Each structure stands twice: as C-alpha cells, then as structure tokens.
Structure 1
Amino acid sequence: MKIQPENLAERIVWRTLIWTWPLYALGALYVVGPVLAWVLTGLVALVLYLGPAIRPDLRATGPIPWLAWLWVVGMIVMLFALWAGHMDWGLGTKKTIKSSIGWAKGWALLALFPLAGAVLPIRREVIIRAQCVVGLWTLVLAPLLLSAPYIGLPERVFTSPLKAIGGPGPEYFTLFLYTFDPSTWTPRWQFYAPWSPFAALLGVIMILFALEEKHRHWMWAGLLAGVLMILASKSRMGLVGIVFCTMCPRLLPLVARTSAWFVVSGFIASLAIWGAIAADIIQAGIHGFRSARADSTRVRETLQRIAYERWQSDAVWFGHGIVRPGPHLVEYMPIGSHHTWFGLLFVKGLIGFFAFLIPFAIHFAVVTKDAAIHPRGRLPLGLLMTFLLLSFGENIEIEAYLLWPALLLLGCHMREMANEHR
C-alpha cells in the first residue's frame, strides 16, 4: 500500500521525518525539532483563524480537544514556575531569557506537537510509514556503524557549527558513529540520539510504530531497526520497554472480558503456593538488572537523593530555576538531570511537578480506557508507557525534539477520539 502526503501539513511532517538521518549528519536535529513545532503551531493558528476560508485539504477537523488544552495549560504553568524560580533565586534577566528559550525548545513541545496533531489533518498512517522509512535508513547504515570501532573509524566525526545556537551540550550537535562504555570500554551505539539509553527508547518507539504498519515489508524494516537500536545501545531501559510497552497495550482488552477475571482469580489464589518462590525470582532479577551497570545505577540514585533533599530544604514551591553542578560523588553531573520527576522538583518545585504530572496522568488514564475498548488506543498507550519509562532515567523535556513523531501521533489520537464523540 502506497502512502503519500496529501496536504501541506503532511508534507512538512513526512519530509522532516524521513530526512532524520541526513539532518543528524548535519548536526541539525536539535534545531529542526523546535522549529517544526512552532511552524506547525503557526499553521494551526492560521487554520483556526481562517476556518472555512482556507483550502479544503487543510481545514481543521474540529475544535481543539480538551486534552490538548490541558497540555497547553500545563506547559504554560511550567513557564510561570520557571520565571518564579528565577525570581526567587535572583538569577537575573539574561538567565531568565535563556531559560525561557529553553522552555520553548523543550517543555513547550510536549503541548505544541499534540496540539498540531489534534487540529491539522495529518493521518496517523503517514507518521507510521515515515517512521518505518527512518527504520530502513537505520538498517542501511547499520553495517557502517557496527563495523566502525573495529576498522579504525573515529567515535565522533564532527560537531556542527549550529551549536552556537545554544543547547544542553555539544553532544546534541555532534555526529557520532559509536561511543565507548566507560565501565567496560566496549563499544555501544547511539544512532541519531545524543546518547545510547535514549537511542534504546527511540528503538522501542520505532517498534511500536512498526507494529501498526499494514505493509509487511515496511513493518519488518521498522521492527528490525527498533530491535537493532535496543540491542546495540546496550541499555537496560530498552530491554524493559520492548517487553512491557509492546505487550501491555495488546493484552489490555483482555481485562474487559469476564474470562480474564477468572484467570486472574486463579493466579492470585495460586500465589499462596508459589508466591514466595516468584518473589525470590523477581528480586534476583531486579538485583541482576541493577548490577548490570552498577556505577550508572549508583550515580543516578545519588543524583536523585541529592535533588530530593535540596528541593525539600531549599525551594519547595518553585524549585531552583536551573540545574546545578553536582559534586565529585556523582561525577559532576548536574543536579536535576537524569530523572524527569526529581529534576522537576529540583528545578521547578511542586508547581512544575504537578504542571507535568496532571496532564500526563489524565492523558494516560484516557488513553488506557480507549485502548481497552478500541485498537486505535494501542499505539498511543505504548508511546505513553515509553514516555513514563523514559522519565525515570532521562529528562524528557530536553529529548522532546526527537520524540516529536510520538507526540504528534498522540494529538492524532485526541482528534480521533473527539471526532467519534461529536
């Protein structure tokens, strides 16, 4: 089945997504993501303003869904929390402007892309096929990437001059072929992500999209690329995600069936016999999972503890405004990094924490309900589960520039649900 974009919005999305690898080679992905978000938002404003006067293939399919409004309000509250934190700590106008620009390139994207997907006539099939095209690019480039450390090619090829625009770090503008794991000094790959664990979660998202692809060849391109990204990145989160984020949405409809409750009842009753053994097995598995990369686990847990203690003692409501350098104990990694929830508490306090938690939790509940009764909810639920998993090991806002296809599809799903109830 051939899928081609049919209007301006779809063409913008299609071409941006299928050119992911060339844009990465230019070190431009971190710039393109936010620019795309604001361009699509401008198109949303134009479509809503002109209404029936705009060309038929670009007309809005309905009013903005309430879930999209919830995300918009939440991210605006996030911006106010940022300003309040900067005022509390006297960080000055220059840092406030810089952080506001960072909000426009990060947190704002969590609202803008779903808004664009909910209003603009972008079909989910176009996003799914384009993601599988990226998967084919990945498979074609895989021999070069996987052989690079063994044939003497350098880890990094170059850093784009676009880094002058500003960002979280030079790795967001650098073309890497591979990196070395500092704990084992073995190569691991990050593909078009700034680091390997994030690449693994992008691999999970690739698989989730591919499972919804109706063309068999494109489906296999996406599936194989996703599995490759997870395995080559050597990330524990990716292994967890490939199991739970793909299986749970497909098993959820069973919960609505009476027969499933009998199975669950029997399972719970049997715990009296083998529950202790199962608990020991699970505990051993968790210990093995944590000890697989013990140094990484120690640093992350220490960062989380410091962030929590500093939030509780210094800035409960609006946080510290910005991340702060960590001590030698955490290898000087910034306090407020490597965990979305602890990072929010440290940087933006309780106000920022709930500005993200409330829309995320409500969206998760709505999508879970829809996935239980309708196949269209499987992909959005899997994506939200991946975001949840990602939030426990990364700062989700600084990675939104690569999560935009998933965010856009969440908006498409909002539109589908809203149209059904009209």
Structure 2
Amino acid sequence: MTVRPEGPAERIVWSTLTWTWPFYAIGTLYVVGPVLAWVLAGLAALSLYLGPAIRRDLRPTGPVPGLIWLWFAGMAVMLFALWAGHMDWDLGMMKTIKSSIGWAKGWALLALFPLAGAVLPIRREVLIRAQCIVGLWTLVLAPALLAAPYLGLPERIFTSPFKAVGGPGPEYFTVYLYTFDPASWTARWQFYAPWSPFAAILGILMVLFALEEKQRRWMLIGVCAGVLMILASKSRMGLVGLVACTMAPRLLPLIARSWAWFAVSTITASAAVWGAFAYDMAVAAVQGFKGARADSTRVRETLQRIAWERWQNDAVWFGHGTVQPGPHLVEYMPIGSHHTWYALLFVKGVTGFLAFLIPFVAHFIFVTIDAINNPRGRLPLGILLTFLLLSFGENIEIEVYLMWPSLVLLGCHLREAATSVHPRETQAQGVPA
C-alpha cells in the first residue's frame, strides 16, 4: 500500500516528520516543533475563516470539536496563571515576557496541534507511515550510535548556534552520539531526544503508531525501531510503558464485555485467598523498580516533596511563576522539574494544575469510551496513556515539541469520531481492526 501526502497540510506534516533526523543533526528540532505548530494553526484558522472560498485541499473538514475548545480554554488559563504568578512574586517584565514565549513554545502546543489535526485534511495513515520512516532512519543509524562508545568516539558532537533562540537548556540544541549514566557509568543512548528517558517515551509512541500500520514491512520497521529506542535508553519508565500503553487499549474492549466482567468479578471474589500474597509481590516489585536507580528515585522523590511543601506554604493559587534552583540535596536540580503535576502546583498553583487536568481527563474519558466501541480509539488511548506515564517522570510542556505527531493524531481522531455515525462504518472505510 502506497501512502503519499496530498495537499499542503499533509505535505508540511510529512516533510517535517520524515526529516526528524536531519533536523536533529543540525540542532533545530526544538525550533521546528513550535514553528510547525503555529504555522499549522494559522492554516487551520485561515481555513475556518475562508471556508469554501479557500482551495479545496485546505478546506476545513468540519467545525472545531468541543474538546479542542476545552484545550484552548485550559491553555489560556495556564497563561493567566503564569502572569499572575509573576506579578505575585515581582519577577519583572523581562522574565514575564520570556516565560510567555516559553508558554507559546510549550503549553500552547497542546491545543494548537490537535486543532490542526481536527480541522485540516490530514489523514492518520500519513502520520503513521511517516513515523515508520523515522523508524527506518533510526535503524539505519543505530549501528553507528551503538558502536560509538566502544570505538572511543566523543559523547557530544556539537551544540547548535540555534540555542541563541532560547530554550530550557543547551541539551535541546546539542547533537549526541550517546551519554554515560552517572550512577553506573555505562553508556545510554538518547537518539534524537535531549535525554535518554525521553527517548524511551518516543520509542513507545513509535511502537503505538507502527502497530496501526497496514503494511507489515513498515509495521515491523517501526516496532523494531521503537523497541530499540526503549532498550538502548535503559529507562524503567519505557519498559513499563511498552507493556501498559500497547496492551491496555487492546484489552479494554474485552474487559468491557459481559463475560469479561464476570471473569473479573470471579477473580476479585477469590482475592481473599491470594490477595495478601499478590500485594506482597507487588510491593516487592515496586521496591525493586525503585532500587534499580536508587539515586535517581531519591532525587525525584525529594524534588516532589520540596515542591509540594513550598506550594502549600508559599503560593497555593498561582504558584511561584517559574522553577527555582534546588539545593545540594537534589543535586541542584530545579524545583518544579521531573514531574508534571508537582511542577504545575509549584510553578502555577492550583489554577495551572486544573487548567491541564480538566481537558486531559475529559479527553482521556472520550478516547477510552471510543476505544471500547471502535478500533480507531486504540491509538489515541495509547498516546494519552503514554502522556500520563510521562507526566509522572518529566515535564510535558518542555517535551511536546517532539511529541507533535501524537497531538496531531489526537485531533484527527476527534474529527473521525465527529464524522462517523457507527463503528462498523469506520471499519468499512479502512480503519484497521
């Protein structure tokens, strides 16, 4: 099956995604993501404004779904919380402007990319095939990357001059062959991500996309590339996500059936016999998971505790406005990092926390219901499960610039759900079962 982009929107998305590795090679990925978001959102706004007057291959595919408006409302409240936090702490006009630009490059993308997917004529199969092409790039380059530390090649090749545009740190503009884990001094690979655990998340998303690919050759390429990224990153979060985020969307329709509920109730009723043993096993597994990287776990838990206590004591409603340097106890890691939810409370308070929580939960419920009734919901549900997993270990807003294909697909799914009357009709139109 040949998949080719049609129309300006699809060609922009296709070219940007398939050129992921070349963009990484010159250190511009952090710039490309936000620019793409605002360009696609501008096209979507123009399409909605002109309607039938615009060229046929840019006409809106339907009205803006309600969930997209909810995301826009949430991200607007996020910006308001940012301004309020800066005013409360007298951070000054320059810091407020800088943080607002950061919002435009981060949180705003959570609404802009789904808008583009929901309004512009972008097909999910184009996104899926392009993601598999990125997987092919990854497999071709993998031998050189994996051999680099054993050949004595340097970890870092160079830092791009594009870092002058500003960002969370120089690692977003740096081209790496590999890095060393400071705890064990063994090599870890991050591919085109700024650090290894994030590469594992991108690997999970690649596997999710590849599993929906209709052509088996491309599917195997995408799955192999995604699994390689997860294993080479040596991320605990990636291993958990590989199982949970791929299996849960496929098991959900079975659990929803009556016979499955009967089986679950039977198992639950017998929990009195084996429940204590299962609990002990689960506790041991969790402790083993944390002990695999004890130093990392300690730093993360300490950061979360500090963020929680300072949020309660200092700034409940609008937070501190920005992350703050941490003490030696947490290896000087910024307070308000390494956890989306604690970071939101610390930086933007309850207002920012709810601004992200409400649209995320609403979208999650929507895709869960659709995944039960229709195979088209499996990929969106897997994506949101991956985002949820990521939120407990990283800050989502500084990583959306690489997760944009998933956000566009979430918008495509909302469009498909709005235009489909019955699940069987969707299957008849070619959505993989």
Is TM > 0.5 for Structure 1 vs Structure 2?
Answer: yes
Structure 1's 279 and 105: CA in aligned 2 closer, same or farther, altered over 3 A? Answer: same
Aligned match of 2:161:
161
- Residue 57 (structure 1) shift: 1.5
Aligned match of 1:60:
60
RMSD: 0.8
Counterparts of 2:318 and 2:273, CA distance in 1: 50
> What is the DSSP-based 3-state SS (H/G/I as helix, E as strand, rest coil) of the residue aligned with 2:79?
helix
Q: Deviations over 1:304-342 (max 9, x none)?
A: 000000010000000000000000000000000000000
Letter in 1 for 2:342: F
Aligned match of 1:234:
234
In the alignment, structure 2 segments of 5+ residues that lack a partner are: 423-433
Counterparts of 2:269 and 2:67, CA distance in 1: 40
Counterparts of 2:369 and 2:337, CA distance in 1: 32
Letter in 1 for 2:394: E
Aligned match of 2:15:
15
Counterparts of 1:94 and 1:274, CA distance in 2: 60
Aligned match of 2:428:
none
Letter in 2 for 1:42: G
Letter in 1 for 2:397: E
Letter in 1 for 2:269: A
Aligned match of 2:311:
311
- Residue 277 (structure 1) shift: 1.4
- Residue 270 (structure 1) shift: 2.1
> What is the DSSP-based 3-state SS (H/G/I as helix, E as strand, rest coil) of the residue aligned with 1:60?
coil
Deviates more, 1:412-421 or 1:20-29: 412-421
Counterparts of 2:78 and 2:420, CA distance in 1: 31
Aligned match of 1:247:
247
Q: TM-score, normalised by structure 2?
A: 0.97
Counterparts of 2:207 and 2:164, CA distance in 1: 34
Aligned match of 1:410:
410
Counterparts of 1:162 and 1:332, CA distance in 2: 26
Counterparts of 1:284 and 1:323, CA distance in 2: 34
Counterparts of 2:158 and 2:65, CA distance in 1: 43
Counterparts of 2:410 and 2:358, CA distance in 1: 16
Aligned match of 1:107:
107
- Residue 56 (structure 1) shift: 1.1
Counterparts of 1:122 and 1:9, CA distance in 2: 7
Aligned match of 2:149:
149
Aligned match of 2:30:
30
> What is the DSSP-based 3-state SS (H/G/I as helix, E as strand, rest coil) of the residue aligned with 2:175?
strand
Counterparts of 1:340 and 1:406, CA distance in 2: 18
Counterparts of 1:262 and 1:348, CA distance in 2: 44
Counterparts of 1:347 and 1:265, CA distance in 2: 43
Q: TM-score, normalised by structure 1?
A: 0.99
Q: Deviations over 1:350-381 (max 9, x none)?
A: 00000000000000001000000100000000
Deviates more, 1:211-220 or 1:53-62: 53-62
- Residue 421 (structure 1) shift: 5.3
- Residue 418 (structure 1) shift: 1.3
Letter in 2 for 1:398: I
- Residue 406 (structure 1) shift: 0.3
The count of residues paired between Structure 1 and Structure 2 equals 422
Counterparts of 2:76 and 2:215, CA distance in 1: 40
Letter in 2 for 1:196: S
> What is the DSSP-based 3-state SS (H/G/I as helix, E as strand, rest coil) of the residue aligned with 1:402?
coil
Counterparts of 2:51 and 2:421, CA distance in 1: 21
Counterparts of 2:234 and 2:152, CA distance in 1: 21
Aligned match of 1:206:
206
In the alignment, structure 1 segments of 5+ residues that lack a partner are: none
